[in-house]
């Protein structure tokens, strides 16, 4: 008898070895977003403006960059070990898995399709009909409350918070934890995340979370 029906995974730093899918693209373009990051952390700009400034770094470097170019860059992004095993095990036990990320949707889509996740939600990079970037991003996941997205998946799959697990690594995932029966801090980057989680897992392999999810 399974205890959980749904597992919500953060993406950046949990399913990937990089801290941010946005930063991965910055690395590919060899640009630095530290000024925009500091402005966002200081409350000087909101998340949509943060996305605009990040995207502008790319278009300044390559004005004709397309969403396909961005998607291709994610093919070389290093992923955490054990994703295939983890999702297959959850599926075999009748548990659905989804990605809830403030990262880029093309990365979430790639991972979801490759490993068989049941759904994903992440922020979008807006494009023109010819595929070039408009310079705008669409905020689908508010980092101030990712719990909204967890509740959306709970409703979609007809389960409850008590039968949901959330897995994250940073303070922006705490709102996910608060909407879940169990929460796992996977290689947490700050003490607040660890304190808010039911359990902490430090590992190079995401499959190690299964010990806490699958009941004997």
- Could you tell me the mean pLDDT of each successive run of 10 residues in the chain, 216 residues long? 94 96 95 91 91 95 95 96 98 97 96 98 96 95 94 98 97 96 97 96 97 84
Query: Does residue 55 lie within any of the structural domains?
Result: yes
How many helices, marked H, and strands, marked E, lie in the chain?
A: 10, 7
- Same domain as 155, residue 119: yes
- Same domain as 67, residue 126: no
Query: Does residue 57 lie within any of the structural domains?
Result: yes
How far is residue 61's CA from residue 29's CA, in Å, rounded to a whole number? 7
Structural domain of residue 182, as residue ranges? 6-17+79-213
Supply the pLDDT for residue 101. Answer: 97
- Same domain as 97, residue 83: yes
- Same domain as 166, residue 87: yes
Chain centroid, CA 10 distance in Å: 4
Q: How many domains does the chain have?
A: 2
Supply the pLDDT for residue 22. Answer: 95
- Name which of 133, 112, 135 is nearest 122 in CA terms: 112
- Same domain as 103, residue 61: no
Supply the pLDDT for residue 215. Answer: 73
pTM of the full structure: 0.94
- Same domain as 138, residue 63: no
Supply the pLDDT for residue 176. Answer: 98
DSSP E strand boundaries for the chain: 6-9, 96-104, 119-127, 133-138, 164-168, 182-186, 199-201
Supply the pLDDT for residue 1. Answer: 74
**Domain end position, chosen among 57, 74, 91:** 74
Supply the pLDDT for residue 30. Answer: 95
- Same domain as 54, residue 99: no
How far is residue 56's CA from residue 134's CA, in Å, rounded to a whole number? 10
- Same domain as 96, residue 38: no
Residues counted in the chain: 216
- Same domain as 98, residue 35: no
Query: Does residue 1 lie within any of the structural domains?
Result: no
- Same domain as 99, residue 63: no
Supply the pLDDT for residue 149. Answer: 98
- Same domain as 206, residue 158: yes
Supply the pLDDT for residue 29. Answer: 96
- Same domain as 94, residue 54: no
Q: Residue 153: which residues within 8 A CB-CB, separation 6 or more?
A: 6, 8, 98, 100, 119, 121, 164
Please report, for the domain that includes residue 153, its CATH number.
3.40.50.1000
Angle in degrees, 0-180, between the axes of helices 47-61 and 21-29, rounded to the nearest 10: 20
């Amino acid at each position: 008898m399974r205890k959980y029906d749904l597992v919500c995974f953060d993406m950046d730093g949990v399913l990937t070895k990089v801290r941010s899918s946005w930063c991965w693209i910055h690395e590919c373009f060899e640009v630095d977003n530290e000024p925009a990051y500091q402005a966002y952390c200081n409350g000087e700009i909101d998340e949509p403006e943060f996305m605009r400034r990040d995207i502008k770094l790319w278009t300044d470097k390559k004005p004709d960059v397309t969403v396909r170019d961005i998607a291709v860059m994610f093919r070389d992004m290093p992923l955490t070990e054990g994703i295939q095993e983890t999702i297959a095990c959850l599926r075999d036990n009748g548990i659905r898995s989804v990605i809830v990320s403030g990262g880029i949707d093309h990365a979430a889509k790639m991972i979801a399709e490759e490993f068989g996740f049941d759904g994903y939600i992440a922020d979008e990079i807006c494009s023109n009909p010819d595929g070039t970037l408009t310079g705008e991003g669409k905020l689908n996941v508010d980092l101030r409350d990712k719990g909204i997205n967890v509740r959306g998946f709970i409703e979609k799959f007809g389960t409850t918070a008590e039968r949901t697990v959330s897995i994250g690594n940073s303070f922006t995932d705490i709102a996910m934890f608060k909407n879940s029966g169990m929460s796992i801090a996977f290689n947490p980057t700050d003490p607040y995340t660890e304190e808010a989680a039911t359990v902490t897992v430090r590992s190079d392999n995401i499959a190690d979370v299964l010990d806490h999810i699958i009941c004997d």
